[in-house]
Amino acid sequence: MAESAVREIVASAPGKVNLHLGVGEARTDGYHDLVSVFHAVDRREVVRLLYDGTPVDGPAVQSMHTTFFVDEPDEDIDGPGNLAWRAVEAVMARAGVAVPRVRIEVDKHVFVAGGMAGGSADAAAALVAANALVAEYGEPLPDEVLGEIAASLGADVPFSLMGGTALGTGRGDELVEMLSRGRLHWVFINPKIGINTGGAFSLLDDLRHGNPALLPHMDATELSQALTSGDVARVAAAMHNDLEAPALSMRPVLKRVLGVAGEAGRRAVVSGSGPTVAVLCDDADAARFAAEHLAERFDGYEVFVAEGPDRGAVVEKVG
């Protein structure tokens, strides 16, 4: 690409925390029925598509590069299997419009494999960026088609596209917007210990066979009422995660993190399948204080502050 001819489209999408995650029995398709309350936070992934303006046939993506503002994983994630790469190719295949080949650049601000749907946010940002590129050369895809592509890429991608606060059912990708009054202030701490998501679900199934008390929590009514009230204490009391039990069993160190984090804020829970711990605080000042305290107590862990709800995937720049 000639340097003077390069154009770019910039998009972003939010990380998320599960305020509620109820996991039902395993289904015949290998998934579990879920009842999840997703909450988007303003720790956002940024995706850029760089192109030279010359439409070509064939694969849309030329290359990909990720810049990490969190700890970098050991494996190379910049390839055709990356969700952002797949998202761009899926949009172009569905649109049927000849576009220039693109370089994808990702600024990664959400923990990698941390239970905050960072990869899904990359995909959502790539979807809207790719659709903006399609609009430069033809007719863009309607929102409902982008939603279909999002669901095909992963269960968390539709919420990353939507943002805000939402109730997710089915695989978690059947979404209904929820009312949430006020702002919620968070600290996120990543112990940097891997937890396999599929393994966490399987272990939960095993744990339930030996412990009838681990019933699925499939009713988020109490949390919905708490969110509507805008009362942080009520929201904290209503938060729940069925995957917390297997996460603690797989990584016992999380028990200490949860204990210390819970004392630093209003309530601490494992986010998604973990290992990230989300700490709900009373306000922005309390969140900053808690983050400083946790960074001191857990040297080497990644800690950041965020708030929500935040908007979904959006195009920030075309030019």
Catalytic residue set: 16, 156
Return all residues near 288 (Cβ < 8 A) that are at least 6 apart: 305
Cα gap 75→58, rounded to integer Å: 28
Cα gap 216→241, rounded to integer Å: 10
Exposed, middle or buried: residue 74 (CB in 10 Å: 0-12, 13-18, 19+)? exposed
Locate 199 and state its tokens: 């393994």
Angle, alpha carbons 263-264-270 (nearest 5°): 80
